[in-house]
Structure 1
Amino acid sequence: MNSETQKFRLGLIINPFAGLGGSVALKGSDGVAAEALARGAEPKAPSRASQALQALQHYADKLVVYTAAGELGERVAVELGFDTRVLYAADTEFSTAEDTQAAVRAFAEQTLDLLVFVGGDGTARDVFSVVAETQPVLGVPAGVKIHSGVYAITPHAAGKVLDMLLKGELVRLMQADVMDIDEAAFRGGTVKARRFGEMLVPAEPRYIQAVKMGGREVDELVLADIAADVIDTMEDELYIIGSGSTVAAIMDELGLANTLLGVDLVEDRKLIGRDLTSSELLEATSGKPAKLVITLIGGQGHILGRGNQQLSPALIRQLGKDNIIIVATKTKLKALEGRPLIVDSGDPELDAEMSGYYRIVTGYRDYVMYRVANPDLAE
């Protein structure tokens, strides 16, 4: 298989600033990359691309990668030792949606076997706007918000799918939704998601995420019961309050202002920090007893790595597994149809360490045991 016509032709485009605003409480990266960098955010998308593509290193002689210059894909592909062909270069340091679209157009001339893109829902939209309907694609999650069903559940899971394809296994294809939200409204605490269309992705339900369930929880009695249980067990320590409407019910019961799509800090049932960044959380809890209250993303099952990148691997290790309180309604858990909860922290070792059974608060003095186990790490 030395002829280039016999090699697997992989397209690669990375949005290097995807998810940049997550750790510094900007809720995304659209239009705020410079501000995020000024606040101390570090780009994570290239490393997440590398995590996914490492699965292909032993197929290097069977693979050619078509990509864009520099951080848009070339650097990662070259570092991993792939036969790399650069077909597009951006004009500016801060790449734009137009750069993603132009790169995908350039790739189209090569008749790709698969197009891999690394980013969030905005990147998926950019690819969707120009890609051919018949072109198989696979998203590697790197954004703050991942509502679209075209992404793998983690970068490592994307690597599993890529490995299956290069092995020559029979991998079915399916149409999956491209979703996105209004980031300006998102930063203001409102989720407005809409469907833009479909793209063709590998049909591997173990590794490809479901489309997120929309809307707020409507069963106020259940949420009030969950909140009452957490509040009754609060001790004299710090409580990191994660994002989401289920967790917001706890703040409502405490009578405290809440950042629905951010992370707050409570001590002695009083609000002492709002919409904190990852570094602020790490500093505020260093050397102090603290607990973290989080919920899951409806329909997907992610408890870390979707909309709460402020909860960094360093913070999770500092807290310890025993100090994590997971709250969820039974309705949300049943909707997973037995699929495990997922951790996508950006640190594969931590993701594996987080595996196991957790007590989920589902009401007042009402709990269920539920498993955290990334399917891509369980084999």
Structure 2
Amino acid sequence: MDTIGVVVNPIAGMGGRVGLKGTDGKLAEARRRGATPRAPDRATEALDALFQRRPDLTVYTAAGEMGADQVRAVGYEPTVVYDPEVNSEGDTTADDTRAAVEAFLERGVDLVLFVGGDGTAVDVAEVLTAYEDESEGENDNESGEESKRTPMLGVPAGVKVYSSVFGVSPTEAGRIAAEFERVEPREVNDIDEAAYREGEVRAELKAVVPVPVAEQLQASKQLASGSVDSLARGFAREVEPGTTYVFGPGSTVGAIESELGIDASPLGVDVWRARSTEETNADGQDGHLLARDASESEILEVLAEPIVIVVSPIGGQGFVFGRGNHQISPAVIDRARDVEIVASDEKLDGLDSLRVDTDDERIDDSLRGWQKVRTGRFTTRLVQIV
């Protein structure tokens, strides 16, 4: 590989910690809630890993926060091939991403490295596919040879990262971009954010594209899981009086909340405090819901020690933190006494290990190692977080 195109979606992931489960159509609300960009920093992390291994690359990119700023920050002198026309709020759009990728392809780049989430992946894939179709048509008129398909690779920065075109972390994405030797077809998936905010996952296959092959490439998210009823019953029986529980998103944790009589937000984060031994049970409830579908700031506002975080890994990927639960931020994790991981045996059988990607290396390091995962009413398994 001699040339690479780099494009950054500067607003990717801004809706995560403020509880919006995405940024599509919600940027103004995300900013009102105090959201800050995370994509530029993750872009710099990936590009630094790339530069350390391949400082000789020719880098094409878009101006400003769409790539040039981060590319220069790590030591490259990029060739800017697209200058976005920002909207009235000073933001770039999906059209800018597509235009930048088109400019890369016109210059024959060997790889498109993008920073964002599934929506950005769809934008990039659509341009690559359209360009490929056009090139194939031209080849049919000349030599009849099949066109070379330009691969793409994602640096994870979005709230939703369901596709299998991303590195497991920004650093790994940079390493893969520098060292890959072959590619293979991978899926680009996206979900309906409006339905997602209402607790329903509607995933759709958008494209199959060539992606660099590496062990540190995440899989597509699995949407199905086995029964967790016995797991939920066992967990509910062992709830500690007077303890604050931060329940992450997903059906496995949702089953526990249901067992406790909590009006859960299926894909949000809820905070619930178990009734202490001194409290009466006059209302028939085992505890009190302190925050439902909460943002990071709302979680921090109601936390009271002792604190236990309850999460389930994403099927097919194994992420415990950093995919779909950004509200449980490093600041929240720092406050917790324990992190309880729950999953069905079926989900764990499809995983070699678990992963974390919190944007805080100190927190990630503290979570790594062998962890006990509850799989049933009385059963647990040891699984390594890497």
TM-score by length of structure 1 reads: 0.90
Residue in 1 aligned with 2:289? 271
What does residue range 266-305 of structure 1 map to in structure 2 within 5 Å? 266-268=272-274, 269-285=287-303, 288-305=305-322
Shift of residue 163, structure 1, vs aligned partner = 3.4
Supply the distance in 2 between the matched residues of 1:290 and 1:51 (Cα, whole angstroms). 32
Secondary structure (helix, strand or coil) at the match of 1:11 reads: strand
Residue in 2 aligned with 1:67? 61
What does residue range 99-178 of structure 1 map to in structure 2 within 5 Å? 99-131=96-128, 132-133=131-132, 134-165=149-180, 171-178=181-188
Residue in 1 aligned with 2:259? 253
Shift of residue 104, structure 1, vs aligned partner = 0.6
What does residue range 1-379 of structure 1 map to in structure 2 within 5 Å? 8-59=2-53, 61-92=55-86, 93-131=90-128, 132-133=131-132, 134-165=149-180, 171-204=181-214, 206-215=215-224, 217-219=225-227, 223-235=228-240, 236-268=242-274, 269-285=287-303, 288-320=305-337, 323-336=338-351, 339-373=352-386
Shift of residue 8, structure 1, vs aligned partner = 2.3
Secondary structure (helix, strand or coil) at the match of 2:256 reads: helix
Secondary structure (helix, strand or coil) at the match of 2:61 reads: strand
Supply the distance in 2 between the matched residues of 1:57 and 1:213 (Cα, whole angstroms). 33
Q: Tell me, yes or no, if the aligned pair for 1:27 and 1:144 is still in contact at 8 Å.
A: yes
Residue in 1 aligned with 2:278? none
Q: Tell me, yes or no, if the aligned pair for 2:97 and 2:124 is still in contact at 8 Å.
A: yes
Q: Tell me, yes or no, if the aligned pair for 2:50 and 2:175 is still in contact at 8 Å.
A: no
Supply the distance in 1 between the matched residues of 2:376 and 2:226 (Cα, whole angstroms). 15
Supply the distance in 2 between the matched residues of 1:138 and 1:208 (Cα, whole angstroms). 9
Q: Tell me, yes or no, if the aligned pair for 1:63 and 1:83 is still in contact at 8 Å.
A: no
Of 19-28 and 86-95, the range deviating more from structure 2: 86-95
Supply the distance in 1 between the matched residues of 2:300 and 2:266 (Cα, whole angstroms). 20
Secondary structure (helix, strand or coil) at the match of 1:130 reads: helix
Q: Which structure 1 segments of 5+ residues have no match?
A: 1-6, 166-170, 374-379
Residue in 2 aligned with 1:168? none
Task: Report Cα offsets for 1:250-289 as digits up to 9, x if no partner.
Answer: 111112111111100001222111111112222322x621
Supply the distance in 2 between the matched residues of 1:163 and 1:102 (Cα, whole angstroms). 24
Of 343-352 and 29-38, the range deviating more from structure 2: 343-352
Q: Tell me, yes or no, if the aligned pair for 2:16 and 2:22 is still in contact at 8 Å.
A: yes
Supply the distance in 1 between the matched residues of 2:171 and 2:332 (Cα, whole angstroms). 21
Secondary structure (helix, strand or coil) at the match of 2:184 reads: strand
Answer with 1 or 2: which has the greater Rg: 2
Q: How many residues align?
A: 352
Amino acid corresponding to residue 62 of structure 1 in structure 2: D
Shift of residue 41, structure 1, vs aligned partner = 0.6
Identity, in percent, stands at 42
Report the CA distance shift for 1:213/1:310 in structure 2 as closer, same or farther (over 3 A). same
Q: Tell me, yes or no, if the aligned pair for 1:60 and 1:81 is still in contact at 8 Å.
A: no
Supply the distance in 2 between the matched residues of 1:172 and 1:68 (Cα, whole angstroms). 26
Amino acid corresponding to residue 212 of structure 2 in structure 1: P
Task: Report Cα offsets for 1:40-63 as digits up to 9, x if no partner.
Answer: 011100111111111133356412
Task: Report Cα offsets for 1:177-227 as digits up to 9, x if no partner.
Answer: 0100001111111100010111111111x2111111123x352xxx12111
Supply the distance in 2 between the matched residues of 1:84 and 1:15 (Cα, whole angstroms). 17
Q: Which structure 2 segments of 5+ residues have no match?
A: 133-148, 275-286
Supply the distance in 1 between the matched residues of 2:54 and 2:73 (Cα, whole angstroms). 12
RMSD (Å) for aligned C-alpha atoms:
1.4
Q: Tell me, yes or no, if the aligned pair for 1:264 and 1:275 is still in contact at 8 Å.
A: yes
Secondary structure (helix, strand or coil) at the match of 2:127 reads: coil
